[in-house]
Structure 1
Amino acid sequence: MKTLFPYGLDAPPVVRNLVLGSLACWLVFALNAAHRLPIIVNGLQWPGLSLAIGALAMIWSSHYGKLRRREKLLDHLDWRGDEHVLDIGCGRGLMAVAAARRTPRGRVTGIDIWQSEDLSGNGPDAVAANAAREGVAARVETRTADMRQLPFADGAIDTVVSCAAIHNIYQAEGRDRAIDGIARVLRPGGQVLIDDIRHLPQYAERLRAAGFEVDLMHGIDSVFWRVLSLGSLAPGTLVGRKPL
C-alpha cells in the first residue's frame, strides 16, 4: 500500500462506498438479466458504471494524478526560493514536499490533525518518510494543529497552500475562522493557494473581504464531479495575494 500510494489513498471510505455501490448495481443487473428477481429492475448498469468510474478515478488520482497535478497547482504561485511555506491539512506531505523542492533556501511547515478517514496512513511519520524520499527532509517540519487556530504570529508566513482539507470543517463559521487565520498569518504581499472540492466561493468571499486579490478557477473535471455527485462537489482552485 505504501508503494502504491506513497501520499495515501484519498478518502478511503468514499472509495469503498463507490466500489460497493457499483458492485450492488451490477449484482442486481445480473440477477435481473437472469430473471432471478420478483420484479423487473432496469437501467442499473448506468449508475453501476458511473460509480465504478468514480472509484477508479480516485484510485488513479491517489497513485499518480495528484503527483502530477500538485506541480501544476504550485505553478500558479510566484517563487523566490526562500519562503516560509505553510501547508494546511498537509496529510502525508503531498504539497509540503513539492513546496520544499521549490524553496531550497526556505522551509515548509505542515499542520494537520491526522484524520485517517480523510487519507489512508495519515500521520507525521509519513510526511517525514516522503520528505526523505524526495530529498527535502531538512526543510520540512510538521505540527499537530487545528486550522481554525493557527499557531503562528501575524505576518509570519510567506505562502500558504492547502489541498482538499478546509472542506472537512463542516460548519461555515469554522471555515471562516480557517480563512481568517490564513489572512492573519500571511505577510503583506503573501500568497495563498487553496485547492478544494467544495466551498470555494465562500473562501473567495472571505479573502476578498480581507482585501485580497483572488482568482477562482474551475477545470473541466469540475463538471464531471458535479454531475457524478449530483451537485454536492464543485472542485476548484483559488489563488490569492494579500495586499501590501
Structure 2
Amino acid sequence: MAVRGRPAGSYGIDAAWVPWMWVGYTILYGLLALGSFAWWDNPWWLGVLFVLIAATCAAGAALYWYVTLRGKFLAWATLLDDVALGDGELALDLGCGHGAVAIEVARRNPGTVVNGIDLWRSIDQSGNSPEAFLRNADLNGVRDRITVATGDMTRLPYGEDVFALVTASLAIHNIPTAAGRREAVAEAWRVLRPGGTLLVTDIRRTAEYASVLRDAGADVASPVSLGWRMWWSGPWMKTRRLTAVKPHPTTVR
C-alpha cells in the first residue's frame, strides 16, 4: 500500500526570490493605485488598472507559495502511484535538493536504495544542502536507504544501466545551455536500466527533453501538463510531466 501525505521535514522554497518579487510588485502597484485615487489627477481607469495588476500579482505570489509548499508534493504523490520498485533496486533523483522526491520514493518502496545528486545551489532552493536532505531522511525513517552526492547531472558518476527509476523535479531547466540540457537528459537515459522509468517534471524545455530521448530510441509521449496545482504563479509558468521507459535491447538471432 502506497504511503500518502507530505513527507516530514523542511523542504525550502523553490527559487525563493520569485514569490517575493510578486509580493514587491503587489506593493508597488497597490501604492500606484492608492496614489491614483487619493492624490494624483489621473483618469479613474488608470487607478482601476493598477488595482487589477496588484490583484494579479498577489494571486501569483499566493499560488507560487501554494505550489512550493504543498502542490508539488501532491503532484509527485500522484506520479509515484504508477511506479513500483522491487527489493534491491536502485533509484536516482537528479537535482534532489532537500529530498522531497527521493524521500517519497524511499518511503513507498521499502526495499529500494535512493541516490540523490545536486550542486546544492541556494538560488535554486532556499537552504539547499546535503545536511538538510539527510535531516529530512532521518525524520522519515529512510536514512539507511539514502545516499547523497555532490555532482553535475551532465556528468553523472554512475555506470550504465544502473537505476530502475530516475527522477528530476524542476531541475534540468536550471542548466543554462541547450547543449548542457541535452547532456543531462542523455546522462539520465544512460544510467537508467532497461525496463526502468525516467520521470521528469519541469516548467519549460520538456519538448526539448522529449526530442533528445526520441533520438536515443525512446518511445516518448508528448509532455503533459500537471494542472493548476503546479502553476508557478499562473498558467504562463505551468509544470509538465515527461515519462519514458527504457526498452530492453533487441535480441539478435
TM-score of the two chains, using structure 2 as the length reference = 0.87
Q: State the partner residue of 2:90.
A: 84
Of 201, 210, 216, the match for 1:204: 210
Q: Is the 8 A contact 1:158 1:191 kept in 2?
A: yes
- Residue of structure 2 in register with 1:64 after alignment: 70
2:40 is equivalent to residue 37 of structure 1: yes
CA contact (8 A) 1:113 1:145 kept: yes
CA distance in 1, matches of 2:188, 2:109: 20
1:123-138 aligned within 5 A: 123-138=129-144
Between the aligned residues of both structures, percent identity stands at 35
Report how many residues are paired: 237
Counterpart of 1:181 in structure 2 is 187
Letter in 2 for 1:14: V
- Root mean square deviation of aligned Cα: 2.1
Q: Aligned equivalents of 2:231 and 2:239: distance in 1? A: 10
Q: Which runs of 5+ in 1 are unaligned?
A: none
Q: Which whole-Å CA distance do the structure 1 matches of 2:120 and 2:37 have between them?
A: 45
Once the two structures are TM-superposed, the CA of residue 225 in structure 1 deviates from its matched residue by 5.7
* Greater Cα shift, 81-90 or 210-219: 210-219
Supply the distance in 2 between the matched residues of 1:9 and 1:179 (Cα, whole angstroms): 25
| Alpha-carbon distance in structure 2 between the residues aligned to 1:26 and 1:145 | 44
1:177-201 per-residue CA deviation (whole Å, 9 max, x = no partner) reads 0001011111111110001111010
Give the drift of 1:226: 9.1
Matched, 1:145 2:151: yes
Separation in structure 2 between the aligned mates of residue 120 and residue 223 of structure 1, nearest angstrom: 19
TM-score, normalization by structure 1 = 0.90
Q: What are the ranges of 5 or more consecutive residues in structure 2 without an aligned counterpart? A: 1-7, 249-253
Does the residue aligned with 1:214 lie in a helix, a strand or coil?
coil
Give the number of the structure whose alpha-carbon radius of gyration is greater.
2
Which of 55, 61, 68 aligns to 2:61? It is 55
Residue identity in the other structure for 1:50:
T
CA distance in 1, matches of 2:239, 2:74: 17
Shift of 1:143: 0.3
